[in-house]
């Protein structure tokens, strides 16, 4: 008996040595070579059946090798992407298409769509919609879990609130920037902070303090709070046709959501060590597994937390104005939903995409100096009942900073009569696609019912104020 006999049976790597060692013991026990080879074949056929005795170590190694192969096979990408709908292909850079192509090759993917504001992101492109079977992809949602929009209309005649007063209200009642929270007496409470879910995971228990400190705030980057004029051409939202003073906000789940995202992305990547490098950032968690369930719970909490941030922002501003909001519209655009697709319940990831079921209200902002739109979904199945979440970048942050001059941005703001507080050059209106173009590409996804024109905007103080 030698190594040749063993490798001929198909043993590989560490299993060769272990099989040889076991075979030597059996030879000493007086068995013939053919008898031993027969035993080895049986171990090979059913390693799980050898939990003791001479073959135990070999069987354990075989089981481990098999598990690794299964994992590799389950993580293997399809040779070609599944087909998916693209809205506004002429507005979408090739890099975003490539990222979507990779997502459509995941073994867990069943359907997808790309919205006209799409651009390159981490993992799934921004503007990507991905439906999987029994799998959640943390980077299919992104770092800002639950990132969302809220609009409120106020019973204040347009023109009554002056620019200076609006500026003062935003400076007093909103907070922006990484790590930022309300301090002292300015800090408010919210029911979401008292949900029992916070106690159900060590991670959530750990992040509760941060969530308490940051509730009611806005983040950085493209987050904003602005006063503007809402125009309704026809009666809707429980309001008569006409013009209303309105507040529009874009915020997310702040440091809490970011840490949830990073934690579960790490777990997902650890679960798929052999995944194709092109899809590494799309590593998933089985939804019926412990980690997948934990992500689901934490993600939905982050979604409610993000809406709580908006809730407090709008409530504060209305209170400061001494009024009660007439109506509110809100939607999350970074989240996962269970959704019926054909005959199947799929796990629909929207990463920068507005849910747009038939009749569903949504908000699609333009840029700091362009109008945003209140829309009603048309329920397009091929788009998985989705629409764009904004205009979408046409220049990356670095490209915007190196291409655009402050003067150009200031001229754009002046022309549109917009007063800006904070805001970096990388958020310049010129860094975004034309919202009119983006809307024109999704006429079969949403119908516009209202237009919001901003006139005082607050954003984070970027690296370079405009």
- Which residues are part of the catalytic machinery? 389
Q: Please indicate if the annotation marks 250 as binding a ligand.
A: yes
Residue choice 206, 319, 324, 406 for contact with DNA (CB under 7 A): 206
**Site for DNA contains 210 (CB under 7 A):** yes
Residue choice 175, 263, 376, 441 for contact with DNA (CB under 7 A): 263
**Site for DNA contains 399 (CB under 7 A):** no
Question: Which CB sits closer to DNA, 27 or 200?
Answer: 200
Residue choice 43, 248, 258, 363 for contact with DNA (CB under 7 A): 258
Q: Which two tokens mark 455?
A: 């006139």
Q: Which helix (H) or strand (E) holds 132?
A: strand 126-132
For residues 6 and 34, is the Cβ–Cβ distance under 8 A?
no
Going across the sheet that includes 344-351, the strands are 85-86, 109-119, 126-132, 344-351, 334-341
CA angle 299, 396, 97 (to 5 degrees): 70
Smallest separation (angstroms) from DNA to the CB of 239: 30
For residues 335 and 176, is the Cβ–Cβ distance under 8 A?
no
Window contacting DNA (CB under 7 A); options: 42-50, 187-195, 199-207, 430-438: 199-207
**Site for DNA contains 270 (CB under 7 A):** no
Q: Please indicate if the annotation marks 336 as binding a ligand.
A: no
**Site for DNA contains 180 (CB under 7 A):** yes
Smallest separation (angstroms) from DNA to the CB of 363: 15
Q: Please indicate if the annotation marks 342 as binding a ligand.
A: no
> DSSP readout, 43-55?
HHH-GGG-SSSTT
Window contacting DNA (CB under 7 A); options: 206-214, 322-330, 341-349, 410-418: 206-214
Instruction: Give residues 41-60 in contact with DNA (rule: CB under 7 A).
Output: none
CB-based contacts of 405: which residues, under 8 Å, 6+ apart? none
Count CB neighbours of 246 within 10 A. Answer: 27
Q: Angle 290-321/202-214 helices, nearest 10 degrees? A: 10
Instruction: Give residues 432-461 in contact with DNA (rule: CB under 7 A).
Output: 460
C-alpha pair distances (Å), 192 with each of 8, 195, 210, 228: 63, 5, 13, 28
Say how many residues touch DNA, by CB under 7 A. 27
Q: Which helix (H) or strand (E) holds 444?
A: none
Q: Please indicate if the annotation marks 181 as binding a ligand.
A: no
Instruction: Give residues 69-128 in contact with DNA (rule: CB under 7 A).
Output: 122
Window contacting DNA (CB under 7 A); options: 139-147, 374-382, 415-423, 438-446: 139-147
Please choose, from the candidates 15, 16, 21, the residue with its C-alpha nearest in 3D space to the C-alpha of residue 5. Answer: 16
Q: Which helix (H) or strand (E) holds 310?
A: helix 290-321
Please choose, from the candidates 101, 147, 90, the residue with its C-alpha nearest in 3D space to the C-alpha of residue 124. Answer: 101
Smallest separation (angstroms) from DNA to the CB of 335: 14
Q: Please indicate if the annotation marks 389 as binding a ligand.
A: yes
Binding mask 217-246 for DNA (x = CB under 7 A): --xxxxx-----------------------
Q: Please indicate if the annotation marks 334 as binding a ligand.
A: yes
CB-based contacts of 280: which residues, under 8 Å, 6+ apart? 269
**Site for DNA contains 143 (CB under 7 A):** yes
How far, in Å, CA of 293 to CA of 262, rounded?
Answer: 16
How far, in Å, CA of 443 to CA of 452, rounded?
Answer: 18
**Site for DNA contains 178 (CB under 7 A):** yes
**Site for DNA contains 19 (CB under 7 A):** no
Smallest separation (angstroms) from DNA to the CB of 64: 25
CB-based contacts of 463: which residues, under 8 Å, 6+ apart? 401, 424, 425, 426
Smallest separation (angstroms) from DNA to the CB of 170: 17
Would the CA dihedral through 207, 208, 209, 210 be positive or negative?
A: positive
Residue choice 24, 266, 410, 463 for contact with DNA (CB under 7 A): 266
Q: Please indicate if the annotation marks 123 as binding a ligand.
A: no
For residues 235 and 465, is the Cβ–Cβ distance under 8 A?
no
Smallest separation (angstroms) from DNA to the CB of 422: 12
Question: Which CB sits closer to DNA, 66 or 206?
Answer: 206
Query: Binding site for Mn(2+): which residues?
Result: 144, 223, 250, 333
- Provide the binding-site residues for DNA, judged by CB under 7 A: 122, 143-144, 147, 177-180, 202-203, 206, 210, 214, 219-223, 252, 254-255, 258-259, 262-263, 266, 460
Query: Binding site: which residues?
Result: 144, 222-226, 250, 333-334, 365-368, 389-392
């Amino acid at each position: 008996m030698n190594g040749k006999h063993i490798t001929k049976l198909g043993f590989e790597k560490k299993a060769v040595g272990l099989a040889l060692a076991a075979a030597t013991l059996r030879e000493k026990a007086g068995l013939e070579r053919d008898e031993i080879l027969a035993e080895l074949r049986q171990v090979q056929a059913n390693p799980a059946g050898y939990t003791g005795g001479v073959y135990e170590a070999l069987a354990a190694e075989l089981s481990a090798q098999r598990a690794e192969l299964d994992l590799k096979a389950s993580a293997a990408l399809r040779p070609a992407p599944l087909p998916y709908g693209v809205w506004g292909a002429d507005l979408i850079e090739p890099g975003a298409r490539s990222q979507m192509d990779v997502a459509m090759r995941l073994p867990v993917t069943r359907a997808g769509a790309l919205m006209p504001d799409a651009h390159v992101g981490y993992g799934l492109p921004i503007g990507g919609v991905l439906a999987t079977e029994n799998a959640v992809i943390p980077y299919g949602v992104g770092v800002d879990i639950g990132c969302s929009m809220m609009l409120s209309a106020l019973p204040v005649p347009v023109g009554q609130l002056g620019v200076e007063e609006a500026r003062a209200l935003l400076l007093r009642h909103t907070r922006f920037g990484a790590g930022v929270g309300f301090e002292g007496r300015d800090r408010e409470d919210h029911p979401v902070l008292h949900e029992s879910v916070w106690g159900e995971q060590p991670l959530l228990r750990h992040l509760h303090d941060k969530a308490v400190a940051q509730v009611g705030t806005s983040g950085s980057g493209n987050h904003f709070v602005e006063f503007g004029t809402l125009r309704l051409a026809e009666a809707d939202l429980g309001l008569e046709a006409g013009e209303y003073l309105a507040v529009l906000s874009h915020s997310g789940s702040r440091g809490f959501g970011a840490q949830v995202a990073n934690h579960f992305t790490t777990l997902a990547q650890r679960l798929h060590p052999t995944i194709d490098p092109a899809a590494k950032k799309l590593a998933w968690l089985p939804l019926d597994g412990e980690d997948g369930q934990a992500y689901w719970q934490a993600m939905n909490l982050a979604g409610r937390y993000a809406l709580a941030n908006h809730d407090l922002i709008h409530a504060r501003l209305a209170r400061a104005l001494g009024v009660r909001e007439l109506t509110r519209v809100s939607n999350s655009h970074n989240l996962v939903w269970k959704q019926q697709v054909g005959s199947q319940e799929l796990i629909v990831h929207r990463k920068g995409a507005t849910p747009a079921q038939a009749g569903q209200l949504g908000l699609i902002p333009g840029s700091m100096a362009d109008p945003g739109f209140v829309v009603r979904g048309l329920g397009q199945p091929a788009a998985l009942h989705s629409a764009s979440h904004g205009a979408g970048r046409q220049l990356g942050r670095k490209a915007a900073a190196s291409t655009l001059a402050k003067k150009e941005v200031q001229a754009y703001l002046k022309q549109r009569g917009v007063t800006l507080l904070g805001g970096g050059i990388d958020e310049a209106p010129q860094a975004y696609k034309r919202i009119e173009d983006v809307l024109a590409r999704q006429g079969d996804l949403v119908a516009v019912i209202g237009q919001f024109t901003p006139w005082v905007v607050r954003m984070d103080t970027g690296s370079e104020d405009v």
